[in-house]
Amino acid sequence: MAGHGGQGVGVGDRGITQPPSGTARDASFARRMSRRTPSVRPLGVTAWARGTPSLPSVHASQPSSKAPWLPRTIWPTRGGWWFIGASLAIGLAAINTGNNLLYLIVAMLLSVMAVSGALSEQTMRRVDLHREGPARVFAGAPAPFTLWLRNRKRRLPSYALHLSEDRPSGGSALRQFFLKLGPQEREAWRYSLTFPRRGWHRLPGLRLYTRFPFGLFAKVSRPLLPQPVLVFPALHPLAPDEIPAALHPGWRDRDRHGHGASLRNLRPYHPGDDPRRLHWKTSAKAGDLMVKELEDEERPRVSLLVEDPAPGTSPDLIERNLSFAASLAALASRRGAEVQLVTAEGTTAFGQGSAHLDRILERLALYEVPVVPRPAPPSDRVGRSVRIRLDGPRPSAAGRA
């Protein structure tokens, strides 16, 4: 689903060691675990901030009422199978011979297995996993994620915890090893993921397991945090010749007081006026404090009209033009303009700011190519417009005052 932009390392007061990755034993163990455990539904997630419609977010954690350490499975390792076989053989020999020494050896072996199960359960118990991601994820750009592992036990530490991605289809997966997690302590694992295309993607689930203390048995959790994430179209810097005339600066003064950049008048200072508007040169000449009155400015309005492509258009060309539309929206928002997106699926209102830009990027990320092109609804007859044909080799722009 997604390529890895880089592997992170854990950080913490006690330090984290990184075991050699890619060994045959770890790879075979991960494959066995992925085949034996069925897939599960995504865990509960919060709503995407101010999105329409509501979308899941990557800033989701396990609810405290649902402990992430239940249920678990336990599987013998290769050494564990040999240990179980030796215990059975010695037990049969003790039954057939009646030798008290063999009975003592069998009792010792069974005690080792009981102690191993108790200590591994104590290690996995009350351990929480929480994933943090960026507010925006763009196609083709590495997205940093942070996994927090916390030991909620008040007095007992956890030892030898392994954290790995759950990939039933195989392939290389990220792995991290935590040697010791003290009481009420948490450790971080930072890594990055790269998503090749826009739209919905599912983050790989995570498995927490341990072979503590003797390496005879592996206690494994179910897949944790297999959350969906919405990937926005890629943003690219635009060259000067790629910026349409509709996005060029074009602020107009209004004949009234405001907060623009043009000077309207000078007047004496009154209590409560903003001290930053003091005109010091005029105040020095007049011998009294003088305040600047500014003109109000009308923000430019830009409509982005995205037209459906013709049947048979190359998907790569459609993605490039959608990325161009997203880059224009980000540029216009950064320049302070009010932006509107017009597609055949609907029209957004004019707005500005990061929340409004997220709504536009969300619509572009969820855009689906129709079988037959649909007529785009007309935009508000206000401001300027940029027409983008998704099947055109180069988007065409038309500006109007």
Q: Which residues of 167-246 form beta strands (DSSP E)?
A: 175-181, 186-194, 199-202, 205-210, 217-221, 228-231
| For residues 201-224, average pLDDT | 88
pLDDT beyond 90 at 105: yes
Is 246 or 181 the better-scoring residue by pLDDT? 181
Close Cβ partners of 95 (under 8 Å, ≥ 6 residues apart): none
pLDDT beyond 60 at 165: yes
Same domain, 204 and 115: yes
Same domain, 207 and 287: no
Render 307-372 in DSSP notation, one character per residue: EPPPTT--HHHHHHHHHHHHHHHHHHHHTT-EEEEEETTEEPPPB-SHHHHHHHHHHHHT----SS
Provide the number of structural domains found in the chain. Answer: 3
Which range among 16-20, 50-54, 304-308 has the greatest average pLDDT? 304-308
| 389: three-class secondary structure by DSSP | strand
List the domain range (segments joined by +) for residue 169: 3-231
Same domain, 281 and 332: no
Residue 364 inside a domain? The answer is: yes
In CATH, what number is assigned to the domain containing residue 70? Answer: 2.60.40.10
Of the candidates 380, 237, 370, which has an alpha carbon nearest to the alpha carbon of residue 301? Answer: 380
Residue 401 inside a domain? The answer is: no
Asked whether 352 and 340 are in contact (CB, 8 A), the reply is no
pLDDT in tens, 213-244: 999 999 888 878 888 999 999 999 888 888 88
Out of 231, 263, 287, pick the residue that ends a domain. 231
Type of residue numbered 148: W
Radius of gyration of the chain from its Cα atoms, rounded to whole angstroms: 31
Same domain, 283 and 307: no
- The partner residues of 177 in beta bridges, in order of sequence, read 162
| For residues 383-398, average pLDDT | 70
Sheet with 158-166, side-by-side order of all strands: 72-76, 217-221, 205-210, 158-166, 175-181
Out of 181, 197, 231, pick the residue that ends a domain. 231
Same domain, 267 and 343: no
Buried b (16+ CB within 10 A) or exposed e, 305-322: bbbbbeeebeeeebbbbb
Residue 87 inside a domain? The answer is: yes
Same domain, 170 and 276: no
Residue 396 inside a domain? The answer is: no
Same domain, 290 and 353: no
- Give the position of tokens 């059975």: 88
Type of residue numbered 279: H
Residue 353 inside a domain? The answer is: yes
Residue 308 inside a domain? The answer is: yes
- Helix (DSSP H) and strand (DSSP E) numbers for the chain: 6, 18
Same domain, 164 and 310: no
Helix H, strand E, coil C: the string for 283-314 is: HHHHCCCEEEEEEEEECCEEEEEEECCCCCCC
pTM score above 0.85 = no
Same domain, 262 and 148: no
Q: What is the pLDDT of residue 169?
A: 52
pLDDT in tens, 325-379: 999 999 988 888 889 999 888 888 888 888 999 999 999 999 998 888 888 766 5
Same domain, 183 and 268: no
Same domain, 197 and 123: yes
Render 30-78 in DSSP notation, one character per residue: HHHHHHHS---PPPP-PBPTT-SS--B-S--B--TTS-TT-SEEEEE-H
Residue 398 inside a domain? The answer is: no
Residue 201 inside a domain? The answer is: yes
What is the percent of the chain with per-residue pLDDT over 90, rounded to a whole number?
Answer: 31
Of the candidates 302, 304, 322, which has an alpha carbon nearest to the alpha carbon of residue 313? Answer: 322
Q: Which two tokens stand for residue 134?
A: 């960026």
Same domain, 294 and 312: no
Is 198 or 392 the better-scoring residue by pLDDT? 198
